[in-house]
């Protein structure tokens, strides 16, 4: 962006002019304070460096053992892929699929997608099939949860230290570095800036907005017949007539609002509410040892950490595994219901609630990763073994369903109540 640009806010649809933000600064919406643009200095170049380093660490993290457990001369080591395989062999294949996707597949896809886009640009070329590369990046970014995995490993190590001697592996330190590099790569990778450079090489004349005439009381993009592409962020004029329309830049189908947003959000929420009960009442982990069999729920795991003196981790697990899923369900139900009722009450606060739900939703996976590590490492035959319980699958489904619910909800629908009021007042 080299001059003032017409921008539509992704969260309230307010149409506004934005000046290029300086490096390190952010341009925010005047109405809902959502971030519109962030200024970067040589963003794609830094992103490419971080992405290349992340690719190397991804290989190390998935090849070498994460951690080992030594008891009476018997040592059990596991890699991340080995932990996923152990879940599958014990019959909890839905959990194995979820852990494998969020800790191995999605981080790899996100890294490869960024390389796909950034490497050709570094050599002055337009990326081949750039739109597909961006779709892969947008698909993988919300589901790569390396930072949550690290916290899960920390909690698992505290629990394991009471059982046997813990031997940190090469991949453990590699994952810590990978977490930092992936965060740095994501922070410096600005899709808008990358698309701007690609557009400059292709010629931008075909994607520029035609002049629009100022209308009385019209303040949103939809009021002017404009649509914001959900994939590449291009603001385009919706053509007249029936049928489906696609973005001229990335060929994604255009919608002024997410299709069936409220009904899909309710469907995911109701399913999450139903599964939240068995997720907290049924055993999440089955432990067999010389002293008998013990079945632990999520809450009993929190109590164990608290009694053993690890109260900060107990508080962390309680917030991530019990409080956050419940608050997400309540928060999304409140947002969806108030939007259906076309309430204009506290729109700014409701938008901030939506942003908070998007931010914290992924951290509910913490307990799933703790279970994964314990199942993989505590396999000492007759001495002690741990298996994932039925609640682990239900809890994983709750996390996924609430994430889908947050993705389905369109916050612009909240602000549409104001536009209806403007139309009636004319």
288-325 burial: b if 16+ Cβ within 10 Å, else e? eeeeeeeebbbeebbebbbeeebeebbebbbbbbbebb
DSSP per-residue codes, 207-239: GSPPP----TT--BTGGGTEEE-TTT--EEEPP
Domain positions in the chain: 259-409
Measured CA to CA, the distance from residue 38 to residue 255 in angstroms comes to: 25
d(CA 365, CA 319): 11
Q: pTM here?
A: 0.88
With 60 as the cut, is the pLDDT of residue 426 above it? no
Burial 120-136 (b: 16+ CB within 10 A, else e): bbeeeeebeebbebbbb
pLDDT, one tens digit per residue, over 139-197 is: 999 999 999 999 888 888 887 777 778 888 889 899 999 999 999 998 888 888 888 88
Q: pLDDT higher for 414 or 223?
A: 414
The answer to whether the CB of 155 falls within 8 A of the CB of 370 is yes
Give the residue ranges of DSSP H helices in 25-145. 43-63, 80-89, 93-100, 106-122, 130-140
CA distance 356 to 233: 22
37-41, 82-86, 201-205, 256-260: the lowest-pLDDT one: 201-205
Lowest mean per-residue pLDDT among 59-68, 278-287, 321-330, 340-349: 278-287
CATH topology of domain 259-409: Butyryl-CoA Dehydrogenase, subunit A; domain 3 (1.20.140)
Distance CA 225, CA 212 (A): 10
3-state SS string for 340-394: HCCCCCCHHHHHHHHHHHHHHHHHHHHHHHHHHHHHHHCECCCCEEEEECHHHHH
């Amino acid at each position: 962006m080299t001059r003032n640009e017409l921008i539509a806010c992704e969260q309230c649809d307010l149409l506004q002019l934005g000046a290029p933000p300086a490096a390190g600064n952010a341009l925010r919406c005047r109405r809902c304070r959502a971030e519109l643009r962030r200024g970067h200095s040589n963003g794609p170049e830094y992103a490419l460096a971080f992405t290349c380093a992340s690719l190397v660490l991804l290989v190390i993290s998935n090849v070498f053992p994460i951690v080992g457990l030594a008891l009476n001369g018997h040592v059990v080591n596991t890699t991340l892929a080995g932990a996923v395989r152990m879940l599958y062999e014990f019959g909890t294949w839905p959990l194995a699929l979820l852990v494998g996707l969020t800790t191995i597949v999605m981080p790899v896809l996100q890294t490869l997608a960024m390389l796909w886009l950034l490497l050709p640009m570094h050599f002055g070329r337009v990326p081949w099939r750039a739109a597909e590369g961006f779709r892969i990046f947008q698909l993988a970014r919300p589901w790569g949860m390396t930072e949550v995995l690290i916290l899960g490993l920390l909690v698992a190590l505290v629990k394991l230290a009471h059982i046997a001697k813990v031997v940190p592996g090469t991949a453990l330190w590699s994952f810590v570095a990978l977490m930092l590099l992936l965060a740095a790569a994501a922070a410096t990778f600005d899709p808008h800036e990358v698309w701007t450079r690609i557009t400059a090489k292709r010629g931008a004349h075909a994607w520029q907005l035609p002049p629009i005439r100022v209308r009385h009381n019209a303040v949103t993009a939809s009021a002017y017949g404009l649509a914001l592409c959900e994939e590449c962020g291009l603001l385009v004029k919706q053509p007249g007539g029936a049928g489906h329309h696609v973005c001229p830049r990335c060929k994604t189908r255009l919608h002024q609002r997410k299709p069936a947003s409220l009904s899909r959000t309710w469907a995911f929420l109701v399913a999450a509410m139903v599964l939240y009960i068995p997720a907290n009442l049924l055993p999440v982990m089955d432990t067999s040892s010389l002293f008998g069999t013990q079945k632990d729920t999520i809450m009993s795991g929190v109590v164990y950490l608290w009694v053993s003196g690890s109260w900060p981790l107990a508080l962390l697990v309680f917030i991530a595994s019990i409080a956050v899923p419940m608050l997400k369900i309540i928060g999304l139900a409140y947002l969806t219901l108030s939007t259906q009722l076309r309430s204009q009450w506290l729109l700014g606060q409701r938008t901030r609630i939506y942003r908070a739900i998007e931010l914290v939703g992924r951290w509910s996976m913490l307990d799933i990763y703790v279970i994964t590590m314990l199942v993989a490492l505590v396999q000492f035959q007759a001495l002690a073994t741990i298996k994932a319980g039925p609640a682990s699958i239900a809890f994983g489904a709750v996390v996924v369903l609430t994430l889908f619910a947050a993705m389905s909800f369109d916050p612009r629908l909240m602000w549409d109540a104001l536009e209806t009021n403007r139309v009636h007042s004319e």
